[in-house]
Each structure stands twice: as structure tokens, then as C-alpha cells.
């Protein structure tokens, strides 16, 4: 997969993709990640990428010209109707559809070339969303200073699903949310620490009983919902 990230702060991504699974996937040739400064696609001598909104109001809006130029240069597309197989252009914005595990699975399967536009300020000119963007994504019901943190989240969630990215082919299948459930509790050595013991069922070597216990604990954790102490934990 090829991933292009469009941002006005490319330095944000200076080392964020150089750790763990993403770094290994890059070295193995599973994914290529390129970060682009939107200013490089501005045609004026001052490389302006934003301007005040028509109709008044606070803040600035990202201009359409640099983003159209960037998408056309990176994908060859002249608009959303100019479909290219495997190409997905995504705008990261608070107004987007919630990003979930199912979103990551779908994009990992459908896209061979993913372009992520990091919104900033008051957003991007609506003509960008209307003519260039295949889908808009939000990582949560809160407002960030820009789409850069969201881009790093989306990239991380997708790359780990690419074939060969994880050491175990079943690791992604067993992640939280993959089957609609949160992950079960996990333990490692020592079997007893400060009086706290690992459940006996995990020590008896009976795989059927272990799987039954894990399933039950996953159901219990999921039932607790967002108020549970470990809701959504996945490191």
C-alpha cells in the first residue's frame, strides 16, 4: 500500500512513522508512506494555503488551489468522478464519519493508494470535499488543532492490518473490536505478583477451557461499555 499525507506541518510526522509495526512494514516493503507539504503545491510566490472565509467569521480556511494541485499530482485524478482503482482520498475532519475498526479493515482491503488530507484552522474549502474527497473521517467527537494526530491514528490502524505487517497472521483477527467485542484480560509472568495471581484456567494448558474463559471475559468487559475501566484498551 502507498500512503500520502497532505499537511501544512510536515515536521509533525518527522519520526512518528519510524517505530514498531509501521517501521517494520516500511522496511519490508509492505507500505510506503510519504508526507507532503501542501505549500509545495501553492502557485503564488508567497505559497499561500489559507485565506479568510467568505461571509465573514473567525479563523482561516484552507484554499482549494493547492489541494487540487496536490491530489492531481499524486493520483492523476481530475475529480471524484475520475475514479482510479484502489485510490482513496480521505479528509480528516471533525465532521467526518466515526473511524472504527471496521473502517480500518475496509480501507486496508480496498485501498492500494490512500491519500490523507489533514484539515486545519476552520477546515478546507468545501469544493475540495465535494470534488476530490471519497470520504471524510473523524477519530472522535472532539476538536483537534488539525488532522495530523488523526492521520497518525488512521495510518497505524490500517498498516497493522496489511498482510505480513504483524508477526502473527492471527493477531489482527484477535484484536479488540474485530468480532464486535473488547479484548479479554491478558497476563504474563510471574504467575503471582504482590499477592495477585493469574487465573488458574490460564495455567492448566487446557486450550478449550482457556478459549471459553477468554470469550466469557470479553463478553463481560464489552457489557460494561464505555464506563468500564479498560474500555477500548488496545496497545
Which pLDDT score is estimated for 162? 98
Report the chain's mean pLDDT, rounded to a whole number: 90
pLDDT, average across residues 16-22: 97
More reliable by pLDDT, 225 or 8: 8
How do strand 192-193 and strand 196-197 relate by DSSP bridges?
A: antiparallel
* Confidence tier at 220 by pLDDT (50, 70, 90): very high
Q: Are 62 and 49 in contact (CB under 8 A)?
A: yes
The C-alpha atoms of residue 143 and residue 25 are separated, in whole angstroms, by: 30
CATH 3.40.1280.10 assigned to domain 2-159? The reply is yes
The model's pLDDT over 128-166, given as tens digits with 9 standing for 90+, comes to 999 999 999 999 999 899 999 999 999 999 999 999 999
Sign of the dihedral through C-alpha 199, 201, 204, 210: negative
Report how far residue 7's alpha carbon sits from residue 3's, in angstroms, rounded to the nearest whole number. 13
Locus of grid cell 470469550: 215
Lowest mean pLDDT among 82-86, 123-127, 146-150, 151-155: 82-86
Are 2-159 and 176-227 the same fold in CATH? no
Q: Are strands 2-7 and 32-37 parallel, antiparallel or unpaired?
A: parallel
Band (pLDDT 50/70/90 cuts) for residue 167 is confident
Percentage of the chain beyond pLDDT 70 is 90
State pTM to two decimals. 0.85
Q: Which is more confidently placed, 228 or 9?
A: 9
Are 122 and 100 spatial neighbours (Cβ–Cβ below 8 Å)? Answer: no
| Rg value, the chain, Cα | 21
Query: What confidence tier does 231 reach under pLDDT thresholds 50, 70, 90?
Result: very low
Which residues, 6+ apart, have CB-to-CB distance to 219 below 8 Å? 181
Taking 50 as the threshold, does the pLDDT of residue 218 lie above it?
A: yes
pLDDT at 234 over 70: no
| 71-87 mean pLDDT | 87
Q: Which CATH class is domain 176-227?
A: mainly alpha
Q: How far apart are the first and last CA of the chain?
A: 23
Three-state SS at 50: strand
SS3 state at 43: coil
**Cβ atoms of residues 62 and 88 within 8 Å:** no
55: helix, coil or strand?
A: coil
- What pLDDT is stored for residue 177 in this prediction? 53
pLDDT band at 82 (very low <50, low <70, confident <90, very high): confident
Average pLDDT score over residue span 180-199: 92
Q: Can you tell me the distance from the alpha carbon of 113 to that of 159, in angstroms, rounded to the nearest whole number?
A: 12
Sign of CA dihedral 103, 108, 113, 119: positive
Half-sphere exposure of 79 (CA within 13 A, CB side): 4
Give the active site residues.
94, 122, 160, 175
pLDDT more than 90, % of the chain: 79
Per-residue confidence (pLDDT) for residue 84, from 0 to 100: 85
Mean pLDDT, range 200-228, rounded to an integer: 88
What is the C-alpha to C-alpha distance for residues 127 and 125, in angstroms, rounded to an integer? 5
Cis peptide before 101, with omega less than 30 degrees from 0?
no
Domain ranges of the chain: 2-159, 176-227
Amino acid at each position: 500500500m502507498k500512503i500520502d499525507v497532505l499537511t501544512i506541518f510536515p515536521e509533525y510526522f518527522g519520526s512518528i512513522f519510524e517505530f514498531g509495526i509501521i517501521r517494520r512494514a516500511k522496511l519490508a516493503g509492505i507500505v510506503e508512506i510519504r508526507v507532503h507539504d501542501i505549500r509545495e503545491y501553492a502557485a503564488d510566490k508567497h505559497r499561500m494555503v489559507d485565506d479568510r472565509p467568505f461571509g465573514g467569521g473567525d479563523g482561516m480556511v484552507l484554499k482549494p488551489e493547492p489541494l487540487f494541485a496536490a491530489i492531481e499530482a499524486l493520483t492523476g485524478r481530475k475529480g471524484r468522478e475520475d475514479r482510479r482503482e484502489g485510490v482513496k482520498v480521505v479528509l480528516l475532519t471533525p465532521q467526518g464519519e466515526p473511524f472504527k475498526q471496521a473502517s480500518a479493515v475496509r480501507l486496508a482491503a480496498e485501498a492500494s493508494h490512500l491519500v490523507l488530507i489533514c484539515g486545519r484552522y476552520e477546515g478546507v474549502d468545501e469544493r475540495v470535499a465535494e470534488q476530490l474527497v471519497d470520504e471524510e473521517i473523524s477519530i472522535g467527537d472532539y476538536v483537534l488543532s488539525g488532522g495530523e494526530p488523526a492521520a497518525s491514528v488512521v495510518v497505524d490502524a490500517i498498516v497493522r492490518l496489511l498482510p505480513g505487517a504483524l508477526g502473527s497472521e492471527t493477531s489482527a483477527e484477535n484484536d479488540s473490536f474485530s468480532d464486535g467485542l473488547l479484548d479479554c484480560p491478558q497476563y504474563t509472568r510471574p504467575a503471582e505478583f504482590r499477592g495477585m495471581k493469574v487465573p488458574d484456567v490460564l495455567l492448566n494448558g487446557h486450550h478449550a477451557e482457556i478459549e471459553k474463559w477468554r470469550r466469557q471475559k470479553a463478553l463481560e468487559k464489552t457489557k460494561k461499555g464505555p464506563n468500564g475501566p479498560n474500555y477500548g484498551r488496545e496497545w
